[in-house]
Amino acid sequence: MTSPDVQTRERIRQKADDLFMQLGTRNVSMDDIARELGMSKKTIYQYYSDKDELVNAVLDFTLNKMKGECDEVYDSAKDAIHELILTMDLLAEQFRNMNPIILHDLEKNHSSAFKKFLHYKHDYLFTVVKNNMKRGIKEGLFRNDLNEDVISKFRLESMMMPFNTQLFPTSRYSFVEVVQVVLEHYMFGLASTRGHALILQYKEERKKSKPI
């Protein structure tokens, strides 16, 4: 593939990414993407055989980006609680322009992409959550009586709750706010007495660092 071809393929993916995140995959057609790009649908099909391939390309890019950002959070965190605080900010940035309906759309209409997401959730995210818990216990910031396997799975499932638009309709709830409330509840549930005090300290520092 020539350099202009690579650029065109990437431009199509970027536009599809923007539209899918805003509206979900079901509400965006290949015609919509072509119109937004100012190109013909035939041109898009020269680079992506169908919508499913385009959805998979968008998901591959998104998951790889999220993995990289998650690894950066781990490397820069001072401790396990700081890692969760940084994760809270990261999720706010990642989900700021995301329509929560997208996960439902993947499950219903794009089975191969949804399987990739489930692998990311049950493999990569499970490892991240469990390692954070082990780190916090070792640092004395999390309770040492935690069942790591059960709580890690609890965290994975609680991550999915904000995507349930019947439980949290977007007309009444901020998606990002629900994500953060659920994570904060989880974090306090893990914390030892010393960890509880550190959470409050980090929250205060976070509040002061945010622009008014």
Q: What is the pLDDT of residues 67-86, one digit of tens each?
A: 999 999 999 999 999 999 99
DSSP sequence for 54-88 = HHHHHHHHHHHHHHHHHHHHHHH-SSHHHHHHHHH
For Cα atoms 100, 101, 103, give the angle at the middle one, nearest 5 degrees: 85
Distances (CA, A) of 27 to 44, 56, 93, 130, 175: 18, 16, 23, 36, 19
Task: Name the pTM for this structure.
Answer: 0.89
Confidence at 212, pLDDT banded by 50, 70, 90: very low
The DSSP call for residue 124 is I
Q: Output the CATH code of domain 51-209.
A: 1.10.357.10
Distances (CA, A) of 28 to 34, 75, 137: 11, 37, 45
Confidence at 30, pLDDT banded by 50, 70, 90: very high
Q: What is the pLDDT of residues 110-165, one digit of tens each?
A: 999 999 999 999 999 999 999 999 999 999 999 999 999 999 999 999 999 999 99
